[in-house]
Structure 1
């Protein structure tokens, strides 16, 4: 009896470990000048693959607010989570990704800051792109110039899509880019980085630098800053591979 009890205990332990390892929860975090609706294509593709997918509606009203919004969604998950962030959302997941139930991080044309850095500092260390349309802040919030939105933000989307996104954009509290990072989730969690090769909003060379220094797996797609919309199928496949590799 004692022998069988030990075997049963070990079997239960192995089952528990394997169950935890199976990442079936995906949480998607949008970036600046956007809301959660941009994830619709990726969301649909991941749902079809059997994942439980949640989209964070971070308000872009301040870094602490946006991290808190992400943590509230993480708290609703049952089991381990693959946390995905686009652009400014990469900064958010770098902080929120320290949550115990986050098993891995996916950065899409995103910031992945190091300890002691701010996102503003990272941007200032690279030449500004003449096609970028980020406007000077007004009352502490920055908007993206609608006249440059299509060419600078999402040139590989249709004119109609670009117009809708420009007209529905959410301004960003510029104070978020002054936040100095301390606890870096990608140092303790596996990470994947998708570089958008035709990006005019977040310097491609900066994306490559951040992806390389993280030690994570790096992919490159020929797309605009909104590569997760224009290449939704490719992005969903990479997210799927990331989730499955954590299982292994």
Structure 2
């Protein structure tokens, strides 16, 4: 059977992933240190308040949580904003990122205060990797067509936001989130990570099986490549809002406090 170019590229990527995971599995994955601090970074079309439901659950469990209002301007500026917050933590800290913020987690996660990484339906690039090229080896998710630009400022159209970004949320709630989405700058999308913190830190990944913003199979590939403890959540891209209990439980496990 002949493969088309996209299928062949995906097969090559999958093969490379299998080799990498096999290599990593030869050594036991380090257990995360017990942590009481959690730092969150948000992705595109959102702001730091998107973590509110998860934060409430972690605070109830006795964790200290900080959600960074990271700028969606350039990758270095976003990483710097997270690094400043990480530097203020008083001990082991779990660093959590959603969507685009997986780029931030991969870069800033090498900070010595970071004890574990958690990716929620997030990008998880290798050091210097062209994420856009990687994503093109999988079918393009529907939300991509809904991005609109005013000059260099991008946002998601209301139709795409409700259907492809927040598809499993009540419409009234999704409309509120649409109203407060933070625009991003085109320059943000050109950034490449120079670090892959998941190569040296315990990593956890929540795949959104109904995701229409990042292809779920791409999420599975990235999670497998990093050797992450992975869960699958039947959710839209916004599992952190539609399924906060499951996301909070994964973070507690990363903090060494999961029962």
Q: TM-score, normalised by structure 2?
A: 0.83
User: In structure 2, what is the Cα distance between the partners aligned to 1:129 and 1:32?
Assistant: 15
Structure 1: segments with no counterpart, 5+ residues: 1-19
Partner of 2:110: 98
Q: CA shift at 1:182, angstroms?
A: 2.2
User: In structure 1, what is the Cα distance between the partners aligned to 2:162 and 2:155?
Assistant: 14
Q: What's the C-alpha RMSD, in Å, of the aligned pairs? A: 1.8
Aligned length: 228
Contact 1:109 1:194 in 2 (8 A): yes
Q: CA shift at 1:216, angstroms?
A: 1.3
What secondary structure is seen at the aligned counterpart in 2 of 1:54?
Answer: strand
Structure 2: segments with no counterpart, 5+ residues: 1-31
Q: CA shift at 1:178, angstroms?
A: 1.9
Q: What are the within-5 Å matches in structure 2 for residues 1-248 of structure 1? A: 21-130=33-142, 132-244=144-256
Q: CA shift at 1:28, angstroms?
A: 0.9
Q: CA shift at 1:147, angstroms?
A: 1.9
Q: TM-score, normalised by structure 1?
A: 0.87
Q: 1:131 to 1:90 in 2, by over 3 A?
A: closer
User: In structure 1, what is the Cα distance between the partners aligned to 2:154 and 2:130?
Assistant: 17
Q: 1:56 to 1:66 in 2, by over 3 A?
A: same
User: In structure 2, what is the Cα distance between the partners aligned to 1:217 and 1:22?
Assistant: 16
Partner of 1:3: none
What secondary structure is seen at the aligned counterpart in 2 of 1:107?
Answer: strand
Contact 1:133 1:152 in 2 (8 A): no
User: In structure 1, what is the Cα distance between the partners aligned to 2:118 and 2:187?
Assistant: 24
Partner of 1:10: none
User: In structure 1, what is the Cα distance between the partners aligned to 2:215 and 2:149?
Assistant: 20
User: In structure 2, what is the Cα distance between the partners aligned to 1:61 and 1:89?
Assistant: 12
Which piece of structure 1 moves more, 139-148 or 50-59?
139-148
User: In structure 1, what is the Cα distance between the partners aligned to 2:33 and 2:121?
Assistant: 27
For the pair shown, the structure with the greater C-alpha radius of gyration is 1
User: In structure 1, what is the Cα distance between the partners aligned to 2:171 and 2:148?
Assistant: 25
User: In structure 2, what is the Cα distance between the partners aligned to 1:174 and 1:25?
Assistant: 32
Q: CA shift at 1:132, angstroms?
A: 4.5
